[in-house]
Structure 1
């Protein structure tokens, strides 16, 4: 399908079934209950901690439901799927596992690179001699002025190198994670979500530049809707409720529908 067809369909999709949109909205509202109550001056630390667990469980359920929306898109099914609470929750756990594993790898790599490239300069800047001078109430700006320019150059170079590598790695792993979720939706198998060779073949079939362009457009549209949601949220008392019931579920249904339609051609 062409981009225009995909996004036209995806933007119409959430309002094709107001009942389903409202159910998803109620779940978003439940997960945001602490924030909603805070607007009315109701705040309790114990309740907030307990409700954080509830919000996490609801979020996992929503991730699983989003996967079923994606699956319908892949199968070109125009119906918004009904909730299957147990399956949606289990699927949500699978999505969580996929997200964690695909993101933890670049995080660890970037952490190692950052440690190797930045820590020597940090150690030099905060040497025991300089720490001792800080303890004697020396002006920190004067202390830092004693650091050789070569050390600062090394620090900034390390930060730049780490940032560039981080951007590249997170883009690559983000692409793989996106297609991994599509494969999980299509085959209902964690094994398929980690079939790196098959995922790479899917990315090549879609086209790397096409996939990147698609995700950029998807993100821009979601951001525009999110900005509208932010303005709605600013409405006293009812803003957050309206955003939770309408805006956030719209983004969930729209984005996963679009991804499913994109993958339907693979």
Structure 2
């Protein structure tokens, strides 16, 4: 029954564009490491925690948004200027390159910030404090202990898993009724993958003392 409720929450969150983030709120409870699996109750608490998670995500994605808006905006202005000048090919080419460069750079920044936001979310979920999501020194210190090579490999593996999942879900969604009934939005799987990265980090470096006595996911 609980899986049915989670499927409904996932659908509601997708249809409302995370304005009703009850699934995100529940994921915070899961990521806190509570055992057994937490019950789906206290709807107000789920809503509040979901919006806190929305805020964390938005703050960490701001650099990527700014990069895209600045470079993309310059490209758009360049295209308009090119049209005003009678369609100068050189100006149009430069504008297109600016748009492409802005997109690629924003994508790189998004990957980096998503990775950092992952640990921010973990700290918030476990400590129950929104401020812990922005404890940058603690977050960067924990990330740096295993070595960046380890993380790069882990991220590549997760990207491959996400790609395969997306491919399978895309095929399932093309099957009438079946796709609607058994496929959950990508966001749900994103919530489930984050604990795997946390487990990987705790195996390669010690946890902070204030978490050792009640570590999540172990």
Distance 1:163 1:31, change over 3 A: closer
TM-score with structure 2 length normalisation?
0.75
- How far is the alpha carbon of 1:62 from its aligned partner? 0.4
- How far is the alpha carbon of 1:53 from its aligned partner? 4.7
Which residue number in structure 2 is paired with residue 193 of structure 1? 133
Distance 1:195 1:84, change over 3 A: same
Which residue number in structure 2 is paired with residue 36 of structure 1? none
Distance 1:163 1:256, change over 3 A: closer
Distance 2:18 2:65 in 1: 25
Which residue number in structure 1 is paired with residue 193 of structure 2? 255
Which residue number in structure 2 is paired with residue 67 of structure 1? 28
- How far is the alpha carbon of 1:208 from its aligned partner? 2.7
Which residue number in structure 2 is paired with residue 3 of structure 1? none
Mark the runs of 5 or more structure 2 residues left unpaired by the alignment. Answer: 208-218
* 1:23 counterpart = 2:5: yes
Aligned mate of 1:210, from 140, 150, 172: 150
TM-score with structure 1 length normalisation?
0.63
Which residue number in structure 2 is paired with residue 111 of structure 1? 69
Which residue number in structure 2 is paired with residue 243 of structure 1? 183
- How far is the alpha carbon of 1:173 from its aligned partner? 1.6
Distance 1:120 1:150, change over 3 A: same
Which structure has the highest helix share of the two?
Answer: 1
Distance 2:200 2:45 in 1: 24
Distance 1:192 1:115 in 2: 34
Tell me the matched-pair count. 203
Structure with more relative contact order (C-alpha pairs < 8 Å, separation 6 or more): 1
Distance 1:90 1:206, change over 3 A: farther
- How far is the alpha carbon of 1:98 from its aligned partner? 0.5
* 1:175 counterpart = 2:112: no
CA contact under 8 A between 2:118 and 2:194: conserved in structure 1? no
Distance 1:54 1:103, change over 3 A: closer
- How far is the alpha carbon of 1:236 from its aligned partner? 2.2
- How far is the alpha carbon of 1:160 from its aligned partner? 4.2
- How far is the alpha carbon of 1:99 from its aligned partner? 0.7
Distance 2:141 2:58 in 1: 22
Question: Which structure: larger Rg?
Answer: 1
Q: List per-residue Cα deviations over 1:103-135 (Å, max 9, x = no partner).
A: 12321233223334x2563243121x64xxxxx
CA contact under 8 A between 1:61 and 1:88: conserved in structure 2? yes
